[in-house]
Amino acid sequence: MSGIFENLGHRLILASSSPRRRELLSHLGYPFSVEVPDIEERRRDGEAAEAYVQRNAREKALAVLAKHPPAEASLVIAADTIGVVDDHILEKPLDPEDAKRMLASMSGRSHDVLTGLVVASGSPKSAHVAEIVVRTSVFFKNLSSREIDFYVGTGEPLDKAGAYGIQGIGGFMVEKIQGSYSNVVGLPLVELIDLLASFTPSPPKS
């Protein structure tokens, strides 16, 4: 096998329907398959944003892991990404008007993008789970109503957490970021490599 983790020794599975996560993971050069987890993503009363994305990612990973016996040596990667502004969680917009409201709330200021990232192996009841929450601050330019209407009219915001895609047309709104770019896209690669490394066998001592 090729890529960064030649000795990973696991079958790698991405628990996501996101083409953006699929593309990012492919950059590591390790072969993987894709399976879409069947879970309900709903925030619990009083649940903090960090706890929410971490729980969603963990539930996604374990739902897919449950389909594979431990003997398969499957390693499941799952992630969940949201935007946060003024302690309000921004997930995928319900409709174009909701997308416009979200974009207006981020105009001319910063917001945070949080991704819960989980790598799991074994069985759901006794899984080896490595996890982290990654935060990136994103600064938007001042957006005119015309710019917001234009962007929402492209349709791009409607299937994205926070109602924009930094890697697409939505990049025109971003003045700068502090932190991981790939995290904003949906899969923080630096942190993912570190988590995967915890599953990589140590080389034999000479």
pLDDT at 1: 39
Please indicate, yes or no, if residue 20 is contained in any of the structural domains: yes
> Going along the chain, which residue ranges are E strands?
11-15, 32-35, 74-85, 88-90, 110-121, 128-140, 174-178
Which of 75, 64, 55 lies closest to 122, judged by CA?
75
pLDDT, averaged across the chain: 90
Q: Buried b vs exposed e over 76-110: b needs ≥16 C-beta within 10 Å? A: bbbbbbbbbbeeebbbbbeeeebbbebbebbbeee
CATH code for the domain of 158: 3.90.950.10
Please indicate, yes or no, if residue 93 is contained in any of the structural domains: yes
Q: Which helix (H) or strand (E) holds 186?
A: none
- Give residue 163's domain range: 11-197
Catalytic residue check, 80: yes
Catalytic residue among 80, 98, 159, 194: 80
Which of 73, 77, 70, 65 lies closest to 28, judged by CA?
77
Please indicate, yes or no, if residue 181 is contained in any of the structural domains: yes
User: Where is average pLDDT lowest: 122-126, 133-137, 165-169, 170-174?
Assistant: 122-126
**C-alpha–C-alpha distance, residues 1 and 77, integer Å:** 18
pLDDT of 203 over the 50 cut: no
Counting the structural domains of the chain, the total is 1
As a whole number, mean pLDDT of residues 11-27 equals: 93
Please indicate, yes or no, if residue 179 is contained in any of the structural domains: yes
Which of 148, 137, 81 lies closest to 110, judged by CA?
137
Q: Tens of pLDDT along 35-91?
A: 999 888 788 888 999 999 999 999 999 999 999 888 788 899 999 999 999 989 998
pLDDT of 120 over the 60 cut: yes
Please indicate, yes or no, if residue 2 is contained in any of the structural domains: no
Please indicate, yes or no, if residue 174 is contained in any of the structural domains: yes
Q: Where are the alpha helices (DSSP H) in the chain?
A: 19-26, 49-65, 96-106, 145-153, 181-185, 189-197
pLDDT at 42: 83
pLDDT band with cut points at 50, 70 and 90 for residue 5: low
Q: Is the Cβ–Cβ distance between 41 and 79 less than 8 Å?
A: no
The pair of three-digit structure tokens given for residue 71, joined into one six-digit string = 């003997």
φ, ψ for residue 56, nearest 5 deg:
-60, -45
Please indicate, yes or no, if residue 94 is contained in any of the structural domains: yes
According to DSSP, the residues that pair with 29 across neighbouring strands are: none
Please indicate, yes or no, if residue 203 is contained in any of the structural domains: no
